[in-house]
Amino acid sequence: MGTVSLGKIAFTWRGAYDASATYARQDVVGHNGDSFVCLADATSGVAPHLNSPAWDLFAQGTQGVSSLPGEVIYFDGNQLVALPVGQAGQVLTIGAQGVPVWATPDVRSGTKALKLPENASNTQPNSYRQFGLIMTDGSIRAWGRNVNFKLGDGTTFARSYPARTAFPPGFPGADKLYYSHDTNGYCIDKNGQLWGWGFNGYGQLGTGNTTNQPVPYNMSANASNSIAGKTVVQVAKNCGVEGFNSTLVLCSDGTVHACGYNAHGQLGLGDTTQRNNFVQLPVLSGITQIAAGRERYTAYYAVKSDGTLYSWGYNGNGQLGDGTANQANVAMPRAGGSLAGKTLVKVFGGYVHAFALDSTGALHAWGTNDYGQLGNGNLANQFTPVQVATNVVDVYAGSYDYPLTYLKKTDKTLWACGAGAYWGNANGSNSGNFVQVPVGNTVVKAVHGGTGSYNYGAALLENGTVCAWGYNGNGALGLGDSTNRSSVELVRIAQRRVVDISSYGSSSEQGLVFLLDDGQVLASGYAGEAQLPEDDSETSYVPYPIIL
């Protein structure tokens, strides 16, 4: 017998209940796995139970709740209850009612994200309500809107979680990934072969016909394509939302090949006839880099190994840089204006304008300049190239109808000009002068997004952090709210370093994607049609983990 004293309250432990014993008030006994306290002196012959007038529950045990191995005992708010044994592979979690339940876990293969799409590099990745990734196993996982088989999974069902793009057995793995606005996906595999899927109404997939492709089609395996047997190294990504797509690719031997829509001579073949198979462009050889302007009214650009610039296609806005507005059906060398005597190393296509970087780091611009996107100090159009900046190493120019331009300098600072809507240019008003974006001097890359004036931007810094500014109506900036930002603000991502970023979406329906150093991917912003992959298509105002 033991006695527990709590000041003026004392309990006496009497052991297991004995029907022949007499109990006093505050005696405690054990019975059927529970403990009971006696309520009255001289109690005898009355067995303890929950509704007994002579006894009260002192401590509930588990013997009466469960007798089966593997059951889980928990309090449901009223009493202890047993959760039956779960099935093999299930895990214990908290259900919607706030109590333990067995559930099947999200199955992850351990495969992580390796790369964002290539068009996240220098042009606006305005893929409409859809996104995709290259994984460490060489597969592509894509999600969101799936009209015209754009996800390449063989269906037209929108995917709320990443689905594997359906390459055939033996696929060597993806090396580069590109998406158009709302029509196609392209992949260069690890062997340099080109694949495409989705809408093919203009023959842009090089199949020899205009039939849509529900799964990836190997264009390099079609002997009727001029790229057959060659190693493809680049696809020129268009900006804009107009459709009427053509496809321009560069091969490792310096040749350039095109197919698809050709109403404005953008295939560079001397005519305006659509091509359903790839054809090699005449004139061009020794090419090291290609670039594209807008969809439909497309101008294309190429830089040769000797530093010569070529352009062709639509020229209604002077984007070919030849001093006229005349269309060019074949590639022509351009050396007018400030390009005279310069050795060019890279060209960047914009919506209705273009930039070229020379070997000294000087930047040259031409084309429409209605928002000051050329950075030449005014808002006047420029039909011949003019130098606009020095000490430049990279340009981010592919924004659409309210164009703005970011450039990175040799000192790793970031500068902006162009459309000032929602402070996307870090200025707040249209400006033809480059203004430094206050993100310091450790910029790795920058991105911008939004069409229809909903401009915003973000910069990745060397320490793995990201800063963002501009339009934030759908939480695109990942700052925890929907308040637009007129100044730069740090996006808070705990513990991990960000190694790459991309914008996504168009109009006000956009956001940011963050690739972390451990292969995780986060996204913030608009989520309609599962553009941000989760079940309820709800906007996320902070970076949201994507289940891969």
pLDDT tens digits, one per residue of 268-281? 999 999 999 999 99
pLDDT value at 103 more than 80: no
CA distances from 465 to 497, 514, 527 (A): 7, 10, 23
The pTM for the full model equals: 0.80
The residues spanned by each domain of the chain are 2-82, 416-548
CA distances from 407 to 221, 385, 395, 427 (A): 39, 17, 4, 15
Model confidence band, residue 389 (pLDDT cutoffs 50, 70, 90): very high
C-alpha to C-alpha distance for 165 and 150, rounded to whole angstroms: 10
Gyration radius of the chain over CA positions: 33
Longest dimension (CA), the chain: 115
Give the per-residue pLDDT at 92. Answer: 78
Residues in Cβ contact with 194 at an 8 Å cutoff, skipping those fewer than 6 apart: 186, 187, 188, 206, 218, 219, 220, 227, 232, 235, 249
CATH number assigned to the domain with residue range 2-82, chosen from the 4 options 2.40.420, 1.10.760, 2.10.10, 2.30.30: 2.10.10
Average pLDDT over residues 457-486: 95
Name the average pLDDT for the chain. 90
Coil, strand, or helix at residue 220?
helix
Q: Percentages helix, strand, coil for the chain, rounded to the nearest 5? A: 5, 45, 55
For 295-331, write each residue's pLDDT tens digit. 899 999 999 999 999 999 999 999 999 999 999 999 9
Residues in Cβ contact with 43 at an 8 Å cutoff, skipping those fewer than 6 apart: 22, 23, 24, 54, 55
The residue type found at 489 is E
Residues 145 and 159: beta-carbon distance below 8 Å? no
The two tokens of residue 456 are 């915003």
Average pLDDT over residues 140-165: 92
Task: Residue 186: name the closest of 158, 227, 224 by CA.
Answer: 227
| CATH code at 416-548 | 2.130.10.30
| H or E element at residue 114 | strand 113-115
Give the per-residue pLDDT at 67. Answer: 65
Give the per-residue pLDDT at 7. Answer: 55
CA distances from 54 to 9, 36, 79 (A): 18, 10, 21
pLDDT value at 466 more than 70: yes
In the block, residue with structure tokens 């709302």: 182
Residues 371 and 318: beta-carbon distance below 8 Å? no
pLDDT value at 366 more than 70: yes
In the block, residue with structure tokens 């012959």: 45
Buried-state track 452-491, b at ≥16 Cβ within 10 A, e below 16 = ebbbbbbbbbeeebbbbbbbbbbbbbbbeeeebbeebbeb
Coil, strand, or helix at residue 433?
strand
- Quote the DSSP letter at residue 208: S
pLDDT value at 386 more than 70: yes
Model confidence band, residue 263 (pLDDT cutoffs 50, 70, 90): very high
For 2-45, write each residue's pLDDT tens digit. 555 555 578 888 989 999 999 999 999 988 878 899 999 999 99
| H or E element at residue 345 | strand 344-349
- Quote the DSSP letter at residue 281: P
Average pLDDT over residues 96-120: 76
pLDDT value at 107 more than 60: no
For 67-81, write each residue's pLDDT tens digit. 677 778 777 777 777
For 398-449, write each residue's pLDDT tens digit. 677 888 999 999 999 999 999 988 888 888 889 999 999 999 999 999 998 8
pLDDT value at 184 more than 70: yes
Give the per-residue pLDDT at 95. Answer: 75
Give the per-residue pLDDT at 151. Answer: 95
Task: Residue 48: name the closest of 5, 2, 13, 16 by CA.
Answer: 16
Q: Which of 184-198, 509-523, 528-542 is predicted least confidently?
A: 528-542
User: Which range, 84-93, 113-122, 190-199, is most confident?
Assistant: 190-199
Task: Residue 463: name the closest of 432, 433, 485, 441 by CA.
Answer: 441
CA distances from 254 to 277, 286, 355 (A): 19, 4, 21
Give the per-residue pLDDT at 31. Answer: 87
The residue type found at 95 is G
Give the per-residue pLDDT at 82. Answer: 80
Give the per-residue pLDDT at 8. Answer: 58
For 352-361, write each residue's pLDDT tens digit. 999 999 999 9
The two tokens of residue 508 are 């006000």
pLDDT value at 533 more than 80: no
pLDDT value at 218 more than 80: yes
- Strands (DSSP E) along 350-391, which ranges? 353-358, 363-367, 382-389
Q: What percent of the chain has pLDDT over 90?
A: 67
Q: Which of 51-60, 266-275, 285-294, 413-422 is predicted least confidently?
A: 51-60
